[in-house]
């Protein structure tokens, strides 16, 4: 009786890092476990390893003694050719392979570098551009990428890593242009759902009601609203930034705005009542506090498209969105600017 054997799939890396004589080539999986590695002494990359599972991984070419610049790769069985320059390891290497998804990743990230270099000295550096500039760059990169790869399979995956909340309408248009494969992927469905919710929260839209109650059991009642402007604060007792910002509100903003016209409402995403109520007392929060105590699964988190804590909305007296995801540094300005024009 003859026994057969199955040849395990392999992935092979070959390539050249110009000018690198003392460095490391490393590939890790999504859990950070090493899949392949090699010390580089003459700029040459030559690595072969068994590939148990294909998928998104991280590749790093490190010049010893300098900062790492990990990049995303998609591995599946086959040959990968890597070309890089030791003087520019902060840029995406030219990676070619038979993988269609890797072909898209290479095109996207090299396009990002190319377009970024035209605007900034270092496209992803906070020293050369602020967050708004980076977000605008990424939006323009996505537009250019989708124009070139309208049937992209990786588009939804790439979109999941972008702060598309800063320009919901623009990213919604991009999402609607994605292939059905991308839209119907698990990531694509999640993005589509979130974009749908966020499109309902654009300036001028009626904001959702608040689920849950105050610590003494009172439900939210929008008929009792009596201010021209409301700051809606999403927070958690265990979130340090939330707690620090509360002190800035208590000791600063509240005393600077007209209390007859401006109101504050907090919505906690805690899941433990004692944590929530203790934090309210410690932070001296005198304005209405609501929670459904379901943590990140709160109906409030979904209805208001909350993905980070803290998040601040500014609403008008009719419970319509004036601005969403306002930074703490802009709260007071945005409030006063609205009141000055209304």
pLDDT digits (tens, 9 = 90+) for 107-135: 999 999 999 887 765 544 444 556 667 88
Output the pTM of the full model: 0.75
Query: HSE of 64 in the Cβ direction (CA atoms, 13 Å)?
Result: 10
> Given this model, what pLDDT does residue 1 score?
41
Residue ranges in the chain assigned as alpha helix (H): 100-119, 131-148, 155-159, 168-177, 180-183, 186-199, 240-248, 254-256, 273-282, 299-303, 328-341
pLDDT at 79 over 50: yes
Residue 248 is predicted with a pLDDT of 94
Predicted confidence at residue 244, as pLDDT, reads 96
The mean of the pLDDT values for the chain is 91
Tokens encoding 190:
């999640």
Domains of the chain: 10-95 (2.60.40.1120), 99-199 (no CATH), 222-341 (3.40.30.10)
Q: What is the per-residue pLDDT across 173-191, written as a single tens digit (0 to 9) for each?
A: 999 999 999 999 999 999 9
pLDDT of residue 135: 80
pLDDT tens digits for 54-73?
A: 999 999 999 887 888 999 99
Per-residue model confidence as pLDDT tens digits over 284-340 = 999 999 999 999 999 999 999 998 999 999 999 999 999 999 999 999 999 999 999
């Amino acid at each position: 009786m003859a026994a057969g054997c199955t040849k395990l799939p392999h992935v092979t890396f070959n390539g050249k890092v110009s000018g690198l004589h003392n460095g490391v080539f490393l590939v890790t999986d999504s859990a950070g476990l090493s899949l392949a590695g090699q010390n580089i002494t003459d700029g040459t990359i030559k690595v072969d390893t068994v590939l148990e599972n294909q998928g998104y991984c991280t590749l790093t070419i490190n010049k010893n003694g300098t900062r790492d610049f990990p990049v995303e790769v998609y591995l599946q069985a086959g040959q990968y050719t890597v070309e890089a320059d030791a003087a520019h390891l902060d840029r995406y290497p030219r990676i070619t392979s038979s993988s269609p998804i890797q072909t898209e990743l290479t095109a996207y990230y090299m396009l990002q570098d190319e377009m970024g270099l035209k605007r900034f000295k270092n496209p992803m550096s906070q020293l050369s551009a602020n967050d708004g500039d980076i977000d605008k760059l990424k939006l323009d990169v996505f537009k250019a990428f989708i124009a070139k790869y309208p049937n992209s399979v990786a588009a939804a995956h790439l979109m999941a890593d972008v702060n598309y909340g800063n320009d919901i309408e623009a990213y919604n248009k991009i999402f609607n242009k994605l292939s059905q494969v991308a839209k119907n992927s698990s990531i694509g469905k999640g993005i589509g759902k979130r974009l749908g919710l966020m499109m309902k929260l654009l300036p001028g839209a009626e904001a959702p009601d608040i689920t849950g109650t105050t610590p003494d059991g009172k439900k939210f009642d929008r008929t009792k609203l009596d201010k021209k402007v409301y700051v809606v604060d999403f927070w958690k007792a265990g979130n340090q930034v939330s707690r620090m910002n509360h002190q800035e509100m208590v000791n600063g903003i509240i005393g600077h705005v007209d209390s007859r016209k401006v109101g504050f409402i907090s919505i906690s995403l805690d899941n433990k009542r004692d944590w929530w109520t203790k934090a309210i007392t410690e932070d001296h929060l005198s304005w209405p506090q609501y929670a459904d105590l379901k943590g990140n699964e709160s109906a409030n988190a979904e209805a208001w498209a909350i993905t980070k804590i803290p998040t601040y909305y500014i609403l008008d007296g009719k419970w319509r969105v004036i601005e969403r995801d306002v930074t703490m540094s802009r709260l007071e300005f945005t409030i006063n600017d609205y009141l000055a024009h209304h």
